[in-house]
Amino acid sequence: MADTGTAPGQQTGFLVDFATSPDQYKHWRLSIEGRVARLSLDVQEDQPLIPGYELKLNSYDLGVDIELYDAVQRLRFEHPEVGAVVITSAKDRVFCAGANIKMLGQSGHGFKVNFCKFTNETRNAMEDASANSGQTYICAINGPAAGGGYELALACEHILLIDDGSSTVSLPELPMLAVLPGTGGLTRLVDKRKVRHDHADFLCTTLEGIRGSRALEWRLVDELAPRSNFSQAVAAKASEIAQRSDRPVSAQGIKFTPLKRKMGRDQLRYKNIQIDLDRKLGVANILVKGPSEAPPADVSAIHAAGDSFWPLALARELDDAILHLRLNESEAGTWVFRTHGDSSLVAAYDNILLDNASDWLVREITLYLKRTLKRLDVSSRSLVTLIEPGSCFTGTLLELALAADRCYMLEGTFEDDPDSSDVPAAVRPTGMNFGPLPMVNGLTRLEGRFLGQPDAVDAVRENTGAGLDAQAALELGLVTFIPDDLDWEDEVRLALEERASFSPDALTGMEASLRFGGPETMESKIFGRLSAWQNWIFQRPNASGDQGALQLYGTGAKAQFDKGRV
């Protein structure tokens, strides 16, 4: 975290940096023994991300979760030998008291919502590793697990609870703070763990929590073990699960080197991405650069390239850029994406990912691209794509256009622009658009675009590998409008000015409702239904007013609720 004094978009005056590494961790201990990794939560009370509160009882703030996210990423890429990850506490008789309440009380609304969103995305990354990477997460609850502490456990595939007569699991946010569990706890209870509605209701309305045999009977945990045998039970379960993993024991992982980026007041520069902020219009102009050289010849060369391999480098940079813009640039309400590069090279990189999909590292790179694009989808920003001569909206990069709320493609060329390519813009589908990169609702962006129209998806599939000009792209439904050179500047300008004139709150609600048609999944419920409710409840006086529960916590005073149901 850097103290910038007047950081744009930050009520706190702090610029939050999402980049870290194990040698910088303050709150997590990472150890690896054979096929099992252990992540032990050991929160330093006097090391909050932002001054003004203490992180007591292993409670966490955004800084704690930034470290956890980094650890989850590194375990996937740097440690192919690891088949199971144990999440536990390094403190005796305390697991985790959840999100720090004083931190929530002093934070602005936007910070609270972004904190909850990032925290849940980190939980999703753990679940994605368990489901798709052969790296299964196990939670060893060795003391009371309250609120976000139990939500952390819920993100694991197997939960062991110490049976010592005092350790409990609880979700006390409603009776204690008049808010909801903020990182998917409600949804994971009933959708993932299949906890009965009435049992879940009792859990979420009691402060005391549930312990031992009742927690096991109600499916809140998977296994109990006495204190005398707890460590052995955890080790046995972790070893059993790790042995089932398909991750290669003898493979060499790749190291994540620090991201190279340059930050100015109105600019952010990476190797493959450059961002320019138009503060007057509230626009972040994001240029994504295609690869400058052909992909490695084979999978061994991909491994040798490490984190400089273009798709992986792109995923890391785009991931960091999205997080930076979301939290530190809240008034940049519209993100405008352009690309520049050779479409054939992008297609070649897509093909090498598809051809080597069974390789553990290639699998991880593709999953990382998937998660990063999901993070883009659920960002509360208007997404606009501009496809111009010299663009390379191909395959993976075409997903940026398919994710957009509005997509403009130039018909023809810019006749009076000497810097513009004289070759008309084109888009090119690849196999990456038909399965490997789904949204949070489980559909590809093409399937989500053409709900109930499988023939439309098939029509695009038939053009896999083909460069499609503006008219062909419009007829296939891949773009929204195709202005010509005479109308381009005015149409784009008017669209962005119109967007800037609307209520950001209303736009957030509209975009979230329109982007994810079709079926619901646990993820889509969390980011749609839960995020909407939490966003609203965080602003209600019963929680955040002067006499609200969140503000009065710790004072001894009782919150005064408006009893009207809304």
Q: Which of 89, 82, 66, 96 is closest to 129 using CA atoms?
A: 82
Residue 394, SS3 per DSSP: strand
- Residue 12 pLDDT level (bands cut at 50, 70, 90): very low
Q: Record the tokens describing residue 480, joined without a space.
A: 């929204």
Terminus-to-terminus CA distance in the chain, angstroms?
39
Sheet holding 145-146, edge to edge: 145-146, 168-170, 210-211
Query: For the chain, how many residues are written?
Result: 566
pLDDT digits (tens, 9 = 90+) for 246-260: 999 999 999 999 999
Contact predicate 5/48, CB 8 Å: no
The pLDDT of 141-150, averaged and rounded, is: 97
Q: Give the containing element (helix H, strand E) for 322.
A: helix 310-328
Range scoring the smallest mean pLDDT among 97-111, 135-149, 278-292, 379-393: 97-111
Mean pLDDT of the chain: 94
pLDDT digits (tens, 9 = 90+) for 339-395: 999 999 999 999 999 999 999 999 999 999 999 999 999 999 999 999 999 999 999
The pLDDT of 425-442, averaged and rounded, is: 97
- Residue 445 pLDDT level (bands cut at 50, 70, 90): very high
pLDDT greater than 90 at residue 457 = yes
Contact predicate 401/446, CB 8 Å: no
The pLDDT of 24-40, averaged and rounded, is: 98
Range scoring the smallest mean pLDDT among 286-300, 355-369, 386-400, 413-427: 413-427
Contact predicate 136/130, CB 8 Å: yes
- Residue 13 pLDDT level (bands cut at 50, 70, 90): low
pLDDT greater than 60 at residue 131 = yes
Tell me the C-alpha to C-alpha distance, in Å, between residue 512 and each of 172, 353, 437, 526. 28, 30, 19, 12
Q: 59: which DSSP letter? A: -
Residue whose token pair is 């060369």 = 301
What is the fold, at CATH topology level, of the domain defined by 268-508?
Answer: 2-enoyl-CoA Hydratase; Chain A, domain 1 (3.90.226)
What are residue 41's DSSP bridge partners?
28, 89
pLDDT of residue 192: 97
Tell me the C-alpha to C-alpha distance, in Å, between residue 181 and each of 65, 150, 174, 272. 16, 10, 8, 37
pLDDT of residue 293: 96
Domain ranges of the chain: 20-243, 268-508
pLDDT of residue 46: 96
pLDDT of residue 3: 34
Question: Could you name the CATH architecture of 20-243?
Answer: Alpha-Beta Complex (3.90)
Contact predicate 512/383, CB 8 Å: no
> What is the spatial distance between Cα 99 and Cα 118, in angstroms, rounded to a whole number?
13
pLDDT of residue 550: 86
Q: What is the DSSP string of 127-146?
A: HHHHHHSS-EEEEEE-S-EE
Encoded amino acid at 29, one letter: R
- Residue 11 pLDDT level (bands cut at 50, 70, 90): very low
> What is the spatial distance between Cα 491 and Cα 483, in angstroms, rounded to a whole number?
7
pLDDT of residue 73: 98
> Greater confidence, 476 or 110?
476
Domains 20-243 and 268-508 share a fold: yes
Contact predicate 9/332, CB 8 Å: yes
The pLDDT of 446-469, averaged and rounded, is: 97
If phi > 0 it is left, if psi is from -120 to 50 it is alpha, else beta; for residue 438 that is beta
pLDDT greater than 50 at residue 169 = yes
Q: 478: which DSSP letter? A: -
pLDDT of residue 8: 34
Provide CB contacts within 8 A for 29, sequence distance 6+: 38, 39, 40, 42, 90
pLDDT of residue 566: 78
Contact predicate 82/75, CB 8 Å: yes
Of the chain, the percentage scoring pLDDT greater than 90 comes to 87
Alpha helices in 167-298 (DSSP H): 173-177, 185-187, 197-204, 212-217, 230-243
pLDDT of residue 7: 33
Encoded amino acid at 198, one letter: D
Contact predicate 49/56, CB 8 Å: no
pLDDT greater than 90 at residue 336 = yes
Q: Which of 92, 84, 85 is closest to 42 using CA atoms?
A: 92
Q: Which of 287, 391, 396 is closest to 352 using CA atoms?
A: 396
pLDDT greater than 90 at residue 205 = yes
Q: Record the tokens describing residue 398, joined without a space.
A: 């075409």
Residue 338, SS3 per DSSP: strand
Residue whose token pair is 């972790």 = 238
Provide CB contacts within 8 A for 566, sequence distance 6+: none
Q: How many separate helices (H) and strands (E) can be counted in the chain?
A: 23, 20
